[in-house]
Chain A
Amino acid sequence: MSVIKQPSRRAFLRGSAAVAAGAAGPVAAADSARRPDPLITELQDWTSYTGAGVDETPYGLPIPFESDVIRRNVEWLTASPIASVNFTPLHALDGTITPQGCAFERHHSGAIMLRKEDYRLMINGLVDRPLVFTYEDIERFPRENHVYFCECAANTGMEWAGAQLNGVQFTHGMIHNMEYTGVPLRLLLREAGARTDDNLWLYAEGADASSNGRSIPMAKAVDDCLVAFKANGEALRMEHGYPVRLVVPGWEGNMWVKWLRRIEIVDTAVESREETSKYTDVYEDGIARKWTWVMDAKSVITSPSPQRPVRHGPGPMVISGLAWSGHGRIARVDVSGDGGITWQTARLGKQGDTKALTRFYLDTVWDGAPMLLQARAIDETGYVQPAKDRLREKRGKNAVYHNNCIQTWYLNSDGLAENVEVS
């Protein structure tokens, strides 16, 4: 059964193709099995010799055969790799958790090495007791575990101007999803006797040269923000803010201050560089939107995709992808194979957490005909991920950040996929 079910000539053509493919498929399979497979009939080295001993790699690394599953950058995007970004290899991952080693990096003045022993966190401003915490202090507060996605506001930003880079890693790879262990930010605020009125702000800054200060409205700060020190069960990696980073669920990644060193309670937004000259969106009339914190619902098909062509030919095929929303849980994901004429509801791998990546699958049979593959996320608030042209109608083409439009892959009959825009 193809993704598209239309009682039409097209369906008929597809049907014929499927029949032809169906006839060819088993024959080809039989062909390849006429001669016994030496991988089965002959004794293999790995079955005969002994393998690696324990402790050969005290901290395990991916097997060398997976060496292409790495973060990658696009060097002409930025002036220097020190103030730059690279991309998560979404095409090669499954499930929802992003391993730290291939989770995208974004630095404004490079990733710093800060020892736990040298770590200090200060809380000051409108508080009864300005305090300094050591790393050990942080671990003495009650802590929680949560899985959250962290998406750069600029993810998919290049695509405003049209289909740009050919790969989901590059179009959507400024995102990762980890299980964080951390202290609810409100506990640290309470410890310092911070004023938490709704009209106040929390200004968070990092220990690196950029400091990357951001103002966070108090209501969010006391709601679900975490001061995190572990990700996926182990210490944060240097590039993700070791030893302590701020987690701001569902909101743009720039606010997740790394190497968190100071929290100040203030009566106004600081209007730092990162919330005025950057991370603001200029629309067609030249007016810019600021404080665009929430990441709207979004999804993308990770396989097939340009870096994951279909090699198996016609037959059973799994269409797989990721969906997420800064508004809450993903309720549903629809998939189209014809560029949005018809949609079919996909299966969620499992019910995702709030503000976390959710994996979806559409188990289908490909008849070998070209497809225009799209996915559309719907979150628990009823927000439906918009089509690209509809988002452009609202915002124009000059925007940089918050592009959550529907992505299209053109899958040709050879199984190759390409980033395209459709009418």
Chain B
Amino acid sequence: MLKYPSLPASAVGRVALIAGGACALAALEYNAGLAEAAMDAGRIPQARLAPAAAGPVAAPVPRFGGPLGIGRPALEEEIAAWDVDILPDGRGLPPGKGAVFTGETIFADKCASCHGDFGEGVDNWPVLAGGFDTLADEDPVKTVGSYWPHLSTVWDYISRSMPFGEAGTLTADETYAIVAYILYSNDMVDGDFVLSHENLADFEMYNRNGFVIDDRAVLEYGDWRADPCMSGCKETVEVTMRSVFLVNTPEEGGSESVMNRATIEGLPVFSANGPSFIPDARPGTGAVAAAATEESGEESTEDKADRLARDGERVFRKCRACHRVGPGAGNASGPHLNGLMGRVMGSVEGFNYSGGFRAAREQGRVWDETSLEAFLTSPGEFMKGTKMSFSGLGKKGEQEAIRAYLGRFREE
């Protein structure tokens, strides 16, 4: 039942006309069941081929013209409510003042949970203080003190966007006080400093001369706007670095990045002449994320411990909002976790434990694999009245991983 050889000559011609793309209109007519009309070019109405009107079919909105009378006048009260930006010369600042001393209290109450008591930053939240003389380092520490060129920006941003989750609730005096305290935490003013609408604009920031206006057009574009090389552009090319992270993409979304342990050993060298080219080269190890870690048969004890600790570091993200671990770690909302295994429960100095943990300390109970697992499975059941509001670690392997990770940090 082959159809095409039996097509009448006229139909073949019709297919060819369409396939040849001779005229999109022909295809349109064909689809509309008007093929016969299309075949007869003389019968295609000319109006269909030319624009309907003399003017252009597609045109932008005219550039010039008068107002259309849309919108209503903005009232003074409305402008006052919304026009709150502060210009670098201080225009826009409301009257008010605040002292370092006042700011310290407000900052501890409203800002420190993310930025730390002294603006040092908690977790990934912005560091506000320090970092002077680091801007030319490999990892510049860009803080209000070391980087921000205008103090007006600090006032403006805090006033309208902070505290995170309660933006716009600070009074002008509170804002002046917080800004004063941030300057103090940067050692830029003394403890008795008072900031106000009168002295803010004149305050000279450390990095006020640290910016140049975009000069790519001068410094770069001349070099980039040149005829590109098409062949023999390099002698040889080799891989100098492989991806630091391999990325798994779980179905529920997000991503899980794991360290790529593959090296550049054995990768092919590309060259125009090709003496070292290896057509069937394969990467030395673990080109795929899972391959490296799942071949547990070949994994040494050391490798396994490393892998568990790395996994544990990821699991610890669930904990780090409240707990610190590692060199210099202190107490936060929860006690520090250095030297946890083998430690007497409730025994970290300076931490205000719940009654249950104080009792456990009296009894000399010690954190070990069993007790930690029970606690992390269901904190409230293991320790009645614990302040740790955490739903527990339920996923397979998380407990082993977190123990491996925490096991690496000894009591200092």
Q: Which residues of A contact B (CB under 8 A)?
A: 6, 8-11, 13-14, 16-17, 67-68, 70-80, 82-83, 108-109, 122-125, 129-133, 137, 140-144, 162-167, 170, 183-184, 186-187, 190-193, 203, 205, 209-211, 213, 261-262, 264, 266, 268-273, 276-277, 280, 282, 284-294, 296, 306-307, 334, 338-343, 368-370, 372, 376, 378, 381-386, 390, 394, 397-398, 410, 412-414, 416, 418-423
Chain A residues with CB under 8 Å of B95's CB are: none
Chain A residues with CB under 8 Å of B246's CB are: 166
In whole Å, how far is B269's beta carbon from the nearest beta carbon of chain A?
9
Instruction: Give Cα A266–Cα B88 distance, bound, in whole angstroms.
Output: 12
In whole Å, how far is A377's beta carbon from the nearest beta carbon of chain B?
10
In whole Å, how far is A333's beta carbon from the nearest beta carbon of chain B?
11
A8 touching B79 by the CB < 8 A rule? no
Which of A13, A191, A284, A381 is in CB contact (< 8 Å) with B279? A13
Instruction: Give Cα A83–Cα B114 distance, bound, in whole angstroms.
Output: 13
In whole Å, how far is A398's beta carbon from the nearest beta carbon of chain B?
6
A339 touching B270 by the CB < 8 A rule? yes
Q: Is chain B's binding surface mostly helix, strand, loop or mixed?
A: loop
Which one of B216-224, B298-306, B326-334, B384-392 contacts A? B216-224
Q: Does B398 contact A (CB under 8 A)?
A: no
Instruction: Give Cα A276–Cα B278 distance, bound, in whole angstroms.
Output: 50
Given contacts A72-B255, A271-B152, contact A287 B138 (CB under 8 A): no
Instruction: Give Cα A188–Cα B232 distance, bound, in whole angstroms.
Output: 54
In whole Å, how far is A42's beta carbon from the nearest beta carbon of chain B?
21
In whole Å, how far is A40's beta carbon from the nearest beta carbon of chain B?
16
Instruction: Give Cα A369–Cα B269 distance, bound, in whole angstroms.
Output: 12
Chain A residues with CB under 8 Å of B57's CB are: none
A419 touching B243 by the CB < 8 A rule? yes
Residue ID in chain A nearest B146 by CB atoms: A286
Instruction: Give Cα A262–Cα B213 distance, bound, in whole angstroms.
Output: 26
A13 touching B214 by the CB < 8 A rule? no
Instruction: Give Cα A154–Cα B260 distance, bound, in whole angstroms.
Output: 23
A191 touching B70 by the CB < 8 A rule? yes
New contact pairs (19) apart from A13-B279, A418-B242, CB-CB < 8 Å: A79-B123, A83-B164, A130-B74, A140-B70, A167-B255, A209-B168, A270-B86, A276-B211, A286-B136, A338-B270, A341-B232, A342-B272, A343-B230, A376-B228, A394-B220, A420-B241, A421-B239, A422-B237, A423-B238
B160 touching A79 by the CB < 8 A rule? no
Per CB-CB distance, the 8 closest pairs between chain A and chain B, nearest first, are: A10-B274, A339-B237, A286-B136, A286-B135, A79-B124, A209-B167, A130-B74, A131-B71
Chain A residues with CB under 8 Å of B147's CB are: 277, 288
In whole Å, how far is A125's beta carbon from the nearest beta carbon of chain B?
8
Chain A residues with CB under 8 Å of B245's CB are: 164-166
Given contacts A165-B247, A339-B270, contact A74 B226 (CB under 8 A): no
B71 touching A410 by the CB < 8 A rule? no
Q: Does B13 contact A (CB under 8 A)?
A: no
In whole Å, how far is B72's beta carbon from the nearest beta carbon of chain A?
6
B210 touching A187 by the CB < 8 A rule? no
Best-surrounded residue of B167, B234, B238 (most CB of chain A within 10 A): B234
In whole Å, how far is B142's beta carbon from the nearest beta carbon of chain A?
7
Instruction: Give Cα A384–Cα B277 distance, bound, in whole angstroms.
Output: 29
Could you jot down 13 A-B contacts, CB within 8 Å?
A8-B272, A77-B124, A79-B114, A133-B70, A164-B243, A166-B243, A170-B247, A270-B88, A286-B140, A289-B214, A290-B214, A339-B237, A385-B224
Which of A70, A72, A341 is in CB contact (< 8 Å) with B271? A341
In whole Å, how far is A29's beta carbon from the nearest beta carbon of chain B?
22
In whole Å, how far is A409's beta carbon from the nearest beta carbon of chain B?
10
B61 touching A184 by the CB < 8 A rule? yes
In whole Å, how far is B374's beta carbon from the nearest beta carbon of chain A?
28
B241 touching A163 by the CB < 8 A rule? yes
B125 touching A413 by the CB < 8 A rule? no
Chain A residues with CB under 8 Å of B260's CB are: 166, 418
B237 touching A423 by the CB < 8 A rule? yes
In whole Å, how far is B156's beta carbon from the nearest beta carbon of chain A?
7
Q: Does B294 contact A (CB under 8 A)?
A: no
Instruction: Give Cα A124–Cα B75 distance, bound, in whole angstroms.
Output: 10
Instruction: Give Cα A271–Cα B149 distance, bound, in whole angstroms.
Output: 9
Residue ID in chain B nearest A386 by CB atoms: B224
A276 touching B148 by the CB < 8 A rule? yes
B140 touching A131 by the CB < 8 A rule? no
Chain A residues with CB under 8 Å of B279's CB are: 13-14, 16-17, 368-370, 413
Residue ID in chain A nearest B219 by CB atoms: A394
Q: Does B265 contact A (CB under 8 A)?
A: no
Chain B residues with CB under 8 Å of A124's CB are: 74, 79, 82-83
B221 touching A383 by the CB < 8 A rule? yes
B61 touching A144 by the CB < 8 A rule? yes
Q: Does B33 contact A (CB under 8 A)?
A: no
Q: Does B56 contact A (CB under 8 A)?
A: no
In whole Å, how far is A5's beta carbon from the nearest beta carbon of chain B?
9
Instruction: Give Cα A109–Cα B167 distance, bound, in whole angstroms.
Output: 9
Chain A residues with CB under 8 Å of B60's CB are: 144, 184
Chain B residues with CB under 8 Å of A71's CB are: 253
Which of A77, A109, A284 is in CB contact (< 8 Å) with B136? A284
Q: Does B63 contact A (CB under 8 A)?
A: yes
Chain B residues with CB under 8 Å of A280's CB are: 211
B82 touching A209 by the CB < 8 A rule? no
Chain B residues with CB under 8 Å of A133's CB are: 70-71
In whole Å, how far is B300's beta carbon from the nearest beta carbon of chain A?
24
A384 touching B255 by the CB < 8 A rule? no
Instruction: Give Cα A296–Cα B216 distance, bound, in whole angstroms.
Output: 10
B85 touching A273 by the CB < 8 A rule? no
B254 touching A72 by the CB < 8 A rule? yes
Chain B residues with CB under 8 Å of A203's CB are: 85
A343 touching B228 by the CB < 8 A rule? yes
A370 touching B233 by the CB < 8 A rule? no
Chain B 132-172: CB-based contact to A (< 8 A → 1; otherwise 0): 00011111101010011110110011001100110110000
A420 touching B272 by the CB < 8 A rule? no
Best-surrounded residue of B78, B83, B85, B164 (most CB of chain A within 10 A): B85
